[in-house]
Amino acid sequence: MNAANFLVNIIFETYIMIILLRVWLQLARADFYNPMSQFIVKATQPVIAPLRRIIPSLRGLDLASVLFAYAVACVMVYALVGLQSSALPAFIDVLIIAAIKLVKQCFNIIFYVLILRAILSWISQGRSPVENVLSQLSEPILSPIRRVIPAIGGLDLSMLVAILALQFLQILIGDMTGIRF
Protein backbone atom coordinates (compact mmCIF):
# COMPACT_ATOMS: atom_id res chain seq x y z
CA MET A 1 0.00 0.00 0.00
CA ASN A 2 2.88 2.40 0.63
CA ALA A 3 3.96 2.16 -3.00
CA ALA A 4 0.43 2.94 -4.21
CA ASN A 5 0.14 5.88 -1.78
CA PHE A 6 3.48 7.20 -3.01
CA LEU A 7 2.47 6.91 -6.65
CA VAL A 8 -0.94 8.55 -6.15
CA ASN A 9 0.63 11.31 -4.06
CA ILE A 10 3.32 12.08 -6.64
CA ILE A 11 0.94 12.12 -9.60
CA PHE A 12 -1.64 14.35 -7.95
CA GLU A 13 0.85 16.70 -6.25
CA THR A 14 2.78 17.19 -9.48
CA TYR A 15 -0.36 18.09 -11.42
CA ILE A 16 -1.53 20.41 -8.64
CA MET A 17 1.86 22.13 -8.78
CA ILE A 18 1.51 22.59 -12.53
CA ILE A 19 -1.95 24.13 -12.09
CA LEU A 20 -0.75 26.43 -9.31
CA LEU A 21 2.26 27.43 -11.41
CA ARG A 22 -0.16 28.55 -14.09
CA VAL A 23 -1.94 30.75 -11.54
CA TRP A 24 1.38 32.16 -10.34
CA LEU A 25 2.58 32.82 -13.89
CA GLN A 26 -0.56 34.85 -14.53
CA LEU A 27 -0.26 36.77 -11.26
CA ALA A 28 3.40 37.58 -11.94
CA ARG A 29 2.61 38.42 -15.59
CA ALA A 30 5.44 36.15 -16.65
CA ASP A 31 6.39 35.46 -20.25
CA PHE A 32 3.85 32.96 -21.61
CA TYR A 33 5.89 32.36 -24.77
CA ASN A 34 8.69 30.79 -22.77
CA PRO A 35 9.01 26.98 -23.28
CA MET A 36 8.37 26.28 -19.58
CA SER A 37 5.26 28.47 -19.60
CA GLN A 38 4.04 26.85 -22.80
CA PHE A 39 4.32 23.39 -21.22
CA ILE A 40 2.30 24.53 -18.20
CA VAL A 41 -0.40 26.08 -20.39
CA LYS A 42 -0.64 22.99 -22.63
CA ALA A 43 -0.85 20.65 -19.63
CA THR A 44 -3.73 22.56 -18.08
CA GLN A 45 -5.58 24.11 -21.03
CA PRO A 46 -7.96 21.20 -21.84
CA VAL A 47 -9.71 21.56 -18.48
CA ILE A 48 -9.16 25.22 -17.63
CA ALA A 49 -10.33 26.67 -20.96
CA PRO A 50 -13.93 25.39 -20.55
CA LEU A 51 -13.93 26.35 -16.86
CA ARG A 52 -12.93 29.92 -17.72
CA ARG A 53 -16.12 30.31 -19.72
CA ILE A 54 -18.10 29.55 -16.55
CA ILE A 55 -15.89 30.95 -13.76
CA PRO A 56 -14.65 34.53 -14.17
CA SER A 57 -11.33 35.90 -12.96
CA LEU A 58 -11.23 38.06 -9.86
CA ARG A 59 -8.83 41.04 -9.97
CA GLY A 60 -6.25 39.17 -12.01
CA LEU A 61 -6.64 35.91 -10.06
CA ASP A 62 -7.64 33.03 -12.31
CA LEU A 63 -10.41 31.51 -10.17
CA ALA A 64 -11.01 28.72 -12.67
CA SER A 65 -7.46 27.45 -12.20
CA VAL A 66 -7.61 27.82 -8.42
CA LEU A 67 -10.90 25.93 -8.20
CA PHE A 68 -9.59 23.26 -10.53
CA ALA A 69 -6.50 22.81 -8.34
CA TYR A 70 -8.78 22.58 -5.30
CA ALA A 71 -10.96 19.97 -7.02
CA VAL A 72 -7.88 17.92 -7.94
CA ALA A 73 -6.73 18.16 -4.30
CA CYS A 74 -10.14 16.87 -3.15
CA VAL A 75 -9.92 13.94 -5.56
CA MET A 76 -6.40 13.25 -4.27
CA VAL A 77 -7.64 13.11 -0.66
CA TYR A 78 -10.43 10.72 -1.64
CA ALA A 79 -7.96 8.54 -3.58
CA LEU A 80 -5.49 8.40 -0.69
CA VAL A 81 -8.20 7.63 1.86
CA GLY A 82 -9.66 5.01 -0.49
CA LEU A 83 -6.30 3.27 -0.64
CA GLN A 84 -6.03 3.15 3.15
CA SER A 85 -9.56 2.26 4.23
CA SER A 86 -12.96 1.35 2.88
CA ALA A 87 -14.82 4.08 4.79
CA LEU A 88 -15.06 7.47 3.08
CA PRO A 89 -14.38 10.56 5.18
CA ALA A 90 -16.93 13.29 5.74
CA PHE A 91 -17.18 15.79 2.89
CA ILE A 92 -16.23 18.73 5.11
CA ASP A 93 -13.10 16.88 6.26
CA VAL A 94 -12.07 16.33 2.65
CA LEU A 95 -12.58 20.04 1.90
CA ILE A 96 -10.43 21.08 4.86
CA ILE A 97 -7.65 18.57 4.15
CA ALA A 98 -7.64 19.53 0.46
CA ALA A 99 -7.33 23.22 1.36
CA ILE A 100 -4.37 22.46 3.63
CA LYS A 101 -2.78 20.33 0.87
CA LEU A 102 -3.22 23.24 -1.56
CA VAL A 103 -1.49 25.67 0.82
CA LYS A 104 1.29 23.12 1.30
CA GLN A 105 1.75 22.87 -2.46
CA CYS A 106 1.92 26.66 -2.74
CA PHE A 107 4.74 26.69 -0.20
CA ASN A 108 6.49 23.83 -1.99
CA ILE A 109 6.31 25.61 -5.35
CA ILE A 110 7.79 28.79 -3.90
CA PHE A 111 10.56 26.77 -2.25
CA TYR A 112 11.39 24.86 -5.44
CA VAL A 113 11.36 28.01 -7.58
CA LEU A 114 13.74 29.76 -5.18
CA ILE A 115 16.10 26.78 -4.99
CA LEU A 116 16.07 26.22 -8.77
CA ARG A 117 16.72 29.89 -9.39
CA ALA A 118 19.67 29.83 -7.00
CA ILE A 119 21.16 26.73 -8.63
CA LEU A 120 20.62 28.02 -12.16
CA SER A 121 22.21 31.36 -11.26
CA TRP A 122 25.43 29.50 -10.52
CA ILE A 123 25.30 27.37 -13.67
CA SER A 124 23.61 29.18 -16.55
CA GLN A 125 24.36 32.82 -15.66
CA GLY A 126 21.24 34.21 -17.30
CA ARG A 127 21.27 32.30 -20.57
CA SER A 128 18.49 29.83 -19.81
CA PRO A 129 14.86 30.52 -20.76
CA VAL A 130 13.80 28.60 -17.64
CA GLU A 131 15.88 30.94 -15.51
CA ASN A 132 14.05 33.92 -17.02
CA VAL A 133 10.67 32.55 -15.94
CA LEU A 134 11.99 31.62 -12.50
CA SER A 135 13.30 35.15 -12.16
CA GLN A 136 9.93 36.61 -13.16
CA LEU A 137 8.21 34.41 -10.59
CA SER A 138 10.60 35.01 -7.69
CA GLU A 139 11.37 38.71 -8.12
CA PRO A 140 8.10 39.89 -6.50
CA ILE A 141 9.08 37.87 -3.43
CA LEU A 142 12.76 38.81 -3.34
CA SER A 143 12.69 42.52 -4.20
CA PRO A 144 10.93 43.63 -0.97
CA ILE A 145 13.50 41.65 1.02
CA ARG A 146 16.34 43.33 -0.91
CA ARG A 147 14.97 46.74 0.06
CA VAL A 148 15.26 45.82 3.75
CA ILE A 149 18.45 43.71 3.61
CA PRO A 150 20.94 45.02 1.04
CA ALA A 151 23.66 42.85 -0.48
CA ILE A 152 26.57 42.37 1.90
CA GLY A 153 29.92 42.35 0.12
CA GLY A 154 28.22 41.51 -3.17
CA LEU A 155 26.38 38.56 -1.58
CA ASP A 156 22.59 38.69 -2.00
CA LEU A 157 20.98 37.23 1.11
CA SER A 158 17.39 37.78 -0.02
CA MET A 159 17.06 34.19 -1.26
CA LEU A 160 18.19 32.80 2.11
CA VAL A 161 15.86 35.11 4.03
CA ALA A 162 12.93 34.15 1.79
CA ILE A 163 13.57 30.43 2.25
CA LEU A 164 13.89 30.83 6.04
CA ALA A 165 10.66 32.88 6.16
CA LEU A 166 8.92 30.23 4.08
CA GLN A 167 10.08 27.46 6.42
CA PHE A 168 8.93 29.53 9.42
CA LEU A 169 5.47 29.97 7.87
CA GLN A 170 5.19 26.25 7.19
CA ILE A 171 6.07 25.42 10.80
CA LEU A 172 3.71 28.11 12.11
CA ILE A 173 0.76 26.85 10.03
CA GLY A 174 1.60 23.29 11.05
CA ASP A 175 1.52 24.31 14.72
CA MET A 176 -1.76 26.20 14.29
CA THR A 177 -3.54 23.40 12.42
CA GLY A 178 -1.91 20.43 14.09
CA ILE A 179 -1.00 19.06 10.66
CA ARG A 180 2.68 18.74 9.79
CA PHE A 181 3.73 20.22 6.50
Phi, psi of 152 (to 5 degrees): -110, 110
Distance in Å from the first CA to the final CA of the chain: 22
Each residue of 88-101: pLDDT tens digit?
778 898 899 899 98
pLDDT of residue 181: 57
How many distinct structural domains can be found in the chain?
Answer: 1
Res. 180 pLDDT band, cuts 50 70 90: low
Res. 115 pLDDT band, cuts 50 70 90: very high
pLDDT of residue 20: 95
- DSSP character string of 108-176: HHHHHHHHHHHHHHHHTTT--HHHHHHHHHHHHHHHHHHHHS--BTTB--HHHHHHHHHHHHHHHHHHH
Each residue of 2-35: pLDDT tens digit?
888 899 999 999 999 999 999 999 998 888 888 8
Percent of the chain scoring above 70 in pLDDT: 97
Phi, psi of 13 (to 5 degrees): -65, -35
pLDDT of residue 84: 81
In contact, 84 and 1? CB cutoff 8 Å: yes
Global pTM? 0.87
Q: Which domain holds residue 56?
A: 2-177
